[in-house]
Amino acid sequence: METAIKAINLTKRYGNFTAVDHINFEVYYGEVFAFLGPNGAGKTTTIKMLTTVTRPTEGTAIVGGYDVIKQPAKVREIIGVTPQEYTSDEDLTGWENLMLVAALYGIPKKEAKERAAELLDLVELSYAADRKVETYSGGMRRRLEIAMGLINRPIILFLDEPTLGLDAQTRAAIWDYVYRLRKQYGTTIFMTTHYLEEADRYAERIAIIDHGKILAIGTPKELKEKVGGDVITIEVSGDVNLARKVIEGIEGVTGVSVDGNTITFKVRNGNTAAPIILEALNKLSIRATSITIKEPTMDEVFLEFTGRRLRDEEGSSEDFMRFMRTIARARR
């Protein structure tokens, strides 16, 4: 597969603080790639470097075949960006905002009108096209931002926290739009999020980033397997200690614990391991009264790689303030 984005020792320092620390990764054409990490991990700084808004201190990145340092103007032409903060002009209408951005890409007026109409339709904002953006709700604004990011038919779309501060229903709707446009235009999508379940559900590959470093890259399934696989809980009737010994004897089983009649353990692939275990128990006439197989959550994956839970994180105060401001405006 060809590379849409290739980061090579990409680094950004602000004074003594290293926001992004020599990261290397590749994003393939057509995939949905997510940067997962807490606030202040370096996600937004990375997006800013990839979108040529901020110059890397060290290293570089190739985006759509162009170097972000040497050919920033070329990169800007082929990417679409939906920054974390709202960027539309509140005093203009949704339509005027789209037409303005189209003009900045040098799209001829006639074509711009066609695309704007099509995009407003895609994000279901046609009915509000002639309303000032200041009257939009948070979800509407976010949808408009996505439409603005698509006006130049980008090869690669960057979404920085696309669902930040939105309610669950609106978040699902946003993802629906993102997937629809990918289907329609084959756009490569690079996004950042600190919502674990979103990364898990919508991204094809995830990079876990913390303190400016990438700690792991893979599909959600691969990352979960790296953590140690699925958690199986079996309730048995019969000799619990014998059952424990049988289970411990099976290859790939780790972390066995017993609580009353219940045995809990980890295994790489729960779905294939379960029948083997049941059969082994059966031979010794131990009957399983119930069995549950649980995949590890992204929360556990995150804990494994970073040593902390994402939910407890607040990030740097500046990032946090920006985050709160965006939320406040999203909720308005």
Partner 1 sequence: MGMSTRLHPLHGLWSLTNRELAKWYKVPVILIISLIQPIVWLAFFGKSMNFATMFTNGLNIPGLNIPKQVIDEVAAEVLKANFGTTDYFSFLAVGMLSFITLFTSLQSGMSIVWDRRLGVLSKLLTTPVPRGNIIMAKVLNSMIRSLVQSTIVLIIAIMLGMKLNPSLNPLDVLGAYAALALMSMGFASLFVTLALRSTSWESQMAIMNLLNMPLMFASNSFYPVKSMPWWLKPIALINPLTYVNDINRQLLLGITGQSLVLDYAYLIAFAVIFSAIGVVLSWRYLSEA
**Would you count residue 51 as binding partner 1 (CB under 8 A)?**
yes
For residues 178 and 243, which CB has a smaller minimum distance to partner 1 in the complex?
178
**Would you count residue 55 as binding partner 1 (CB under 8 A)?**
yes
Whether 216 contacts 208, CB under 8 Å: yes
**Would you count residue 54 as binding partner 1 (CB under 8 A)?**
yes
Q: How far is the CB of 86 from partner 1 (least distance, A)?
A: 5
For residues 149 and 228, which CB has a smaller minimum distance to partner 1 in the complex?
149
Q: How far is the CB of 267 from partner 1 (least distance, A)?
A: 46
Which region among 18-26, 47-55, 243-251, 306-314 touches partner 1 (by CB under 8 A)? 47-55
- Within 10 Å of residue 301's Cβ, how many Cβ atoms? 28
E strands in 57-110: 58-63, 66-67, 79-82
DSSP state, residue 98: H
For residues 78 and 129, which CB has a smaller minimum distance to partner 1 in the complex?
78
For residues 188 and 306, which CB has a smaller minimum distance to partner 1 in the complex?
188
For 264, list phi and psi in degrees, rounded to 5: -120, 135
Whether 310 contacts 69, CB under 8 Å: no
Which region among 23-31, 52-60, 232-240, 306-314 touches partner 1 (by CB under 8 A)? 52-60
DSSP 296-332: PPHHHHHHHHHSS-GGG----HHHHHHHHHHHHHHH-
d(CA 164, CA 173): 13
**Would you count residue 148 as binding partner 1 (CB under 8 A)?**
yes
Q: How far is the CB of 169 from partner 1 (least distance, A)?
A: 24
For residues 18 and 51, which CB has a smaller minimum distance to partner 1 in the complex?
51
Q: How far is the CB of 110 from partner 1 (least distance, A)?
A: 14
For residues 81 and 247, which CB has a smaller minimum distance to partner 1 in the complex?
81
The torsion defined by the Cα of 155, 158, 163 and 165, in degrees rounded to 10, comes to -150
Whether 265 contacts 232, CB under 8 Å: yes
Per CB under 8 A, contacts with partner 1 among 66-105 are 73-74, 76-79, 81, 83, 85-92, 96, 99-101, 103-105
For residues 12 and 205, which CB has a smaller minimum distance to partner 1 in the complex?
12
Phi/psi zone of residue 82: left (φ > 0), alpha (ψ -120 to 50 degrees), beta? beta
Q: Which helix (H) or strand (E) holds 242?
A: helix 240-248
Q: Which residues bind partner 1 (CB under 8 A)?
A: 48, 51-55, 73-74, 76-79, 81, 83, 85-92, 96, 99-101, 103-106, 148, 152
